[in-house]
């Protein structure tokens, strides 16, 4: 295998962790002679160097120099790893046995230092060359004992100790081999788990980036640790800078909502209203926060959901159903409805009808007109897909509209006031704009006092190259319980209404790249139509 686990062949390159292990083992090798010399200097009555002090000092000194020079080879990684490890093991055997000979032989106990050297070399090499290192140590100890026995006849009694120490060297080598096997298996398993985790992390990253909902991961300090493309789009469309960015710097409204969640641990009651890039109006975004690692305040995952998209999809389903309903209404209702209305008008013209009959005929006629108006409103829903936008000069359009509206509704011209702060133009389908304005002003007339200035239309330049048209009235206002259902189809509080006026107005505004919103609050009642300014729309 390449770069992982055990090195099966000498020709394969060793990983960094092999060289790092050799480096730390060499640190231990440097400390051994330094400690031995320090002990000898502090207490010369000990066994160390009692027989030949000069040889002991030379052996430990050369051992320390060799260990220091070995750092250069490890840093340069030349010669190769096995050559350096073998040289270190041979040096350990040579210098430790020399120190042992200078300290009186096997009885000095210095031969035990080779056990640590043998075990370390076997573990670093992952079990390879272990028997060679044990054999070298055993031959060195037995050779020193044989030399001592030749020079001192009474030293032959210590051959048993030397043999036992050699057996310990081989036992240590076999034990180190077992430990190395476990280490290799653990390394292979860890590497496989690392690959699996890396693959899983990559898959999770791809899934998060491809999610329809925005995902933002923040830590306990509020720093954004991860964010997907959808979240960037929902939070304004600007990418993260390279430095660490806090959620408060990137999106203050989301940061405030997250802080409230951390304080109260309650789900967000109302959706956030965030600006849309390159579009007028605001976008409704739902926020859901999930803590990471239990309930303690720390890392959190923020899920951002575009409620406007969900509402648009729901409206598309409604439109599809209404389209099918429109076809049935056109064929099944309008013809008999026209016949009923015509028959009612004929009966109203007869002289035989008394007062009661005339009242009943008028009720029939009024309700047929109401049903016919509902059919007309439903039929208009199909027109939202046929958009022919053009540049509309608001100054002249609103003046003309005010005159036509007052004449058609039989009210004085002073009831409707128009206020345009400057020369403004919008990109809008003129017939659609006329329907939107007519629906808004008719509602304002129905609920207002119908006195001078009861209805006011104010046009102004808005943010992001948009134009805002406000329709206000001096009526009592809309109750809070009703406000959430204002734009629902077929919802009305008037007995003569169809419940499609505001719904149709919002649909037409959306088809022309604008928005229609109700401003909640105390009177006056305000509906705001935001649409693209003429110059901005031409550039798009």
Distances (CA, A) of 5 to 18, 133, 172, 189, 336: 10, 22, 22, 9, 87
Where among 322, 351, 383 does a domain terminate?
383
Does some domain include residue 297? yes
Q: For residue 57, what are its two tokens? A: 């000092």
- What is the CATH classification number for the domain harbouring 275? 3.30.450.20
pLDDT at 131 over 80: no
pLDDT band at 471 (very low <50, low <70, confident <90, very high): very high
Does some domain include residue 132? yes
Does some domain include residue 438? yes
Q: What is the DSSP string of 469-514?
A: EEEEE-S----HHHHTTTTSTT--SSTT--S-HHHHHHHHHHHTT-
Return the pLDDT at 234: 82
Tens digit of pLDDT for each residue in 192-206? 888 888 888 888 778
Return the pLDDT at 84: 83
Does some domain include residue 335? yes
pLDDT at 54 over 50: yes
pLDDT at 10 over 50: no
The verdict on 229 and 185 lying in the same domain is: no
The verdict on 366 and 419 lying in the same domain is: no
Distances (CA, A) of 194 to 181, 189, 190, 293, 314: 20, 8, 6, 21, 44
Where among 290, 306, 322 does a domain terminate?
306
The verdict on 400 and 529 lying in the same domain is: yes
The verdict on 512 and 466 lying in the same domain is: yes
pLDDT at 532 over 80: yes
Q: For residue 24, what are its two tokens? A: 């730390």
Lowest mean pLDDT among 6-20, 106-120, 222-236: 6-20
Lowest mean pLDDT among 211-225, 289-303, 317-331: 317-331
> Directed axis angle between helix 113-124 and helix 130-151, to 10°?
160
Where among 248, 283, 306 does a domain terminate?
306
Does some domain include residue 2? no
The verdict on 368 and 441 lying in the same domain is: no
Query: Per the structure, how many domains does the chain have?
Result: 4
Q: Where are the alpha helices (DSSP H) in 381-497?
A: 394-409, 430-447, 480-483
Mean pLDDT of the chain, nearest integer: 77
pLDDT at 495 over 70: no
The verdict on 292 and 260 lying in the same domain is: yes
Does some domain include residue 9? no
Arithmetic mean of pLDDT, 436-450? 88
- What is the CATH classification number for the domain harbouring 496? 3.30.565.10
The verdict on 297 and 357 lying in the same domain is: no
The verdict on 420 and 495 lying in the same domain is: yes
Does some domain include residue 529? yes
User: pTM of the full predicted structure?
Assistant: 0.42
Contact 536, 465 (CB under 8 A): yes
221: helix, strand or coil: coil
The verdict on 74 and 144 lying in the same domain is: yes
Give the residue, 465 or 288, on which the prediction is more confident: 288
pLDDT at 13 over 50: no
Return the pLDDT at 283: 74
127: helix, strand or coil: coil
Domain that holds residue 416: 387-539
Does some domain include residue 535? yes
Contact 227, 301 (CB under 8 A): no
The verdict on 148 and 20 lying in the same domain is: yes
Distances (CA, A) of 144 to 37, 154, 212, 374, 455: 21, 14, 78, 115, 115
The verdict on 349 and 481 lying in the same domain is: no
Arithmetic mean of pLDDT, 377-397? 74
Neighbours of 456 (CB within 10 A): 19
Contact 454, 474 (CB under 8 A): yes
Q: Give CA–CA dist 278/283, Å, rounded.
A: 12
Q: Give CA–CA dist 336/339, Å, rounded.
A: 5
The verdict on 112 and 57 lying in the same domain is: yes
pLDDT at 151 over 80: no
Contact 513, 281 (CB under 8 A): no
Lowest mean pLDDT among 4-18, 97-111, 182-196, 401-415: 4-18
Contact 93, 113 (CB under 8 A): no
Contact 295, 313 (CB under 8 A): no
- Residues 25-49 as b or e (16 or more Cβ within 10 Å = b): bbeebbebbeebbeebeeeeeeebb
């Amino acid at each position: 295998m390449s770069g992982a686990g055990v090195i099966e062949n000498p020709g394969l390159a060793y990983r960094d962790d092999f060289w790092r292990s050799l480096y730390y083992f060499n640190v231990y090798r440097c400390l051994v002679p330094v400690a031995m010399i320090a002990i000898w200097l502090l207490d010369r009555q000990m066994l160390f160097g009692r027989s030949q002090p000069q040889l002991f000092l030379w052996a430990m000194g050369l051992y320390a120099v060799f260990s220091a020079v070995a750092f250069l080879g490890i840093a340069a990684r030349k010669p190769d790893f096995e050559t350096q490890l073998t040289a270190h093991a041979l040096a350990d055997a040579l210098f430790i046995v020399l120190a042992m000979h200078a300290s009186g032989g096997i009885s000095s106990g210095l031969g035990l230092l080779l056990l640590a050297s043998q075990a370390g070399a076997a573990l670093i090499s992952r079990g390879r060359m272990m028997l060679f290192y044990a054999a070298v140590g055993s031959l060195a100890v037995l050779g020193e004992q044989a030399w001592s026995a030749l020079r001192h006849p009474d030293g032959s009694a210590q051959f048993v100790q030397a043999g036992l120490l050699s057996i310990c060297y081989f036992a240590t080598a076999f034990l180190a081999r077992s430990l190395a096997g476990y280490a290799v298996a653990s390394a292979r398993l860890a590497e496989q788990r690392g690959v699996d985790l890396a693959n899983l992390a990559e898959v999770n990253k791809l899934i998060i980036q491809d999610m329809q909902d925005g995902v933002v991961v923040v830590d306990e300090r509020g720093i954004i640790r991860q964010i997907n493309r959808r979240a960037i789009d929902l939070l304004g469309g600007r990418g993260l800078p390279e430095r660490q960015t806090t959620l408060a710097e990137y999106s203050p409204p989301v940061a405030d909502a997250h802080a409230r969640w951390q304080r109260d641990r309650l789900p967000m009651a109302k959706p956030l209203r965030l600006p849309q890039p390159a579009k007028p109006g605001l976008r409704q975004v739902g926020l859901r926060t999930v803590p990471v690692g239990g309930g303690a305040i720390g890392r959190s995952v923020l899920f951002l959901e575009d409620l406007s998209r969900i509402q648009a999809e729901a409206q598309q389903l409604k439109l599809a159903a209404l389209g099918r309903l429109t076809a049935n209404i056109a064929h099944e209702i309008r013809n008999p409805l026209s016949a009923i209305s015509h028959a009612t008008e004929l009966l109203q013209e007869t002289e035989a009808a008394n007062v009661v009959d005339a009242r009943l005929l008028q009720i029939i006629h009024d309700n047929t007109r109401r049903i016919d108006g509902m059919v007309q409103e439903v039929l208009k829903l199909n027109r939202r897909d046929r958009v022919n936008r053009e540049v509309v000069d608001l100054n002249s359009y609103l003046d003309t509209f005010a005159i036509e509206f007052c004449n058609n509704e039989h009210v004085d011209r002073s009831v409707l006031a128009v206020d345009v702060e400057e020369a403004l133009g919008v990109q809008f389908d003129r017939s659609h704009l006329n329907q939107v304005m007519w629906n808004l002003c008719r509602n304002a007339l129905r609920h207002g006092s119908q006195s001078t200035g009861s209805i006011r239309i104010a046009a102004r330049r808005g943010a992001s190259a948009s134009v805002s048209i406000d329709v206000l009235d001096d009526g009592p206002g809309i109750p809070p319980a009703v406000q959430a259902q204002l734009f629902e189809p077929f919802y009305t509080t008037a007995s003569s209404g169809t419940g499609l006026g505001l719904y149709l107005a919002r649909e037409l505004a959306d088809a022309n790249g604008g928005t229609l919103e109700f401003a909640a609050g105390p009177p006056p009642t305000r509906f705001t139509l935001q649409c693209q300014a003429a110059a901005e729309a031409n550039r798009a």
